[in-house]
Amino acid sequence: MTMKFIKKYVFYLFRWQLSTPILAIVLWWLRAYNGIIVTVIANFIGGLIFFWIDRIIFRVEFTNPLWEIRDNITCASCGKICDGFRLVKTKNYDRLNDKNPEFRCPECAKEKIKELTERGVIM
Ligand SMILES: [Zn+2]
């Protein structure tokens, strides 16, 4: 376990406590109604809020560029059929959900990397 992971975990435990006031307020506010139904409502409200916070907590950080390697691609630049690859994700470049990913042969990939770097993509 890394220090970063432990920090995230401790932070998450504190964030978990933030759902306590929501639960308490809703339980008190709707105290005339069935406890289980009211708890479901309170958790629903909590879920609406904490989904966004948890998404930030569990965001994966890319510190190294992520590549995809594939056999028998048709190079998007020269049309050669060979083993090729594509850059998927860096700190400021994201083609993770690309519907038409472009793979390139090693030679054209070098050119493409140069172009991307010139455009400001951090490798
Ligand atoms: Zn090529």
What is the reported pLDDT for 1? Answer: 77
Q: What is the rounded distance in angstroms from the CA atom of residue 72 to the CA atom of residue 56?
A: 37
Per-residue pLDDT of the chain in tens (123 residues, 90 and over written 9): 788 889 889 999 999 898 899 899 999 999 999 999 999 999 999 999 999 988 888 887 767 899 999 999 999 999 999 999 999 999 899 999 999 999 999 999 999 999 999 999 988
In the reported structure, the alpha carbon of residue 83 is separated from the centroid of ligand 1 by a whole-number distance in angstroms of: 10
Distance CA 44, CA 10 (A): 24
Assess contact for 30 and 38: CB atoms under 8 A.
Answer: yes
| Per-residue model confidence (pLDDT) at position 57 | 83
Nearest to 67 by CA among 98, 44, 90: 90
Residue 30's pLDDT is 94
Q: Return the axis-axis angle of helices 3-17 and 35-57, rounded to nearest 10°.
A: 150
Query: What residue segments make up the domains of the chain, in order of their start?
Result: 3-57, 66-118
CA of 123 to the centre of ligand 1 (A): 20
**If DSSP states are collapsed to H, E and C, what string results for 8-54?**
HHHHHHHHHHCHHHHHHHHHHHCCCCCHHHHHHHHHHHHHHHHHHHH
pLDDT for res 44: 95
Structure tokens at 115: 């172009």
CB 112 within 8 A of CB 75: no
How many A from CA of 115 to the centre of ligand 1? 14
Distance 81 CA to ligand 1 centre (A): 8
Phi (first) and psi of residue 75, to 5 degrees: -60, 130
pLDDT number for residue 79: 97
Look at residue 56 in the predicted model and tell me its pLDDT: 86
Distance 121 CA to ligand 1 centre (A): 21
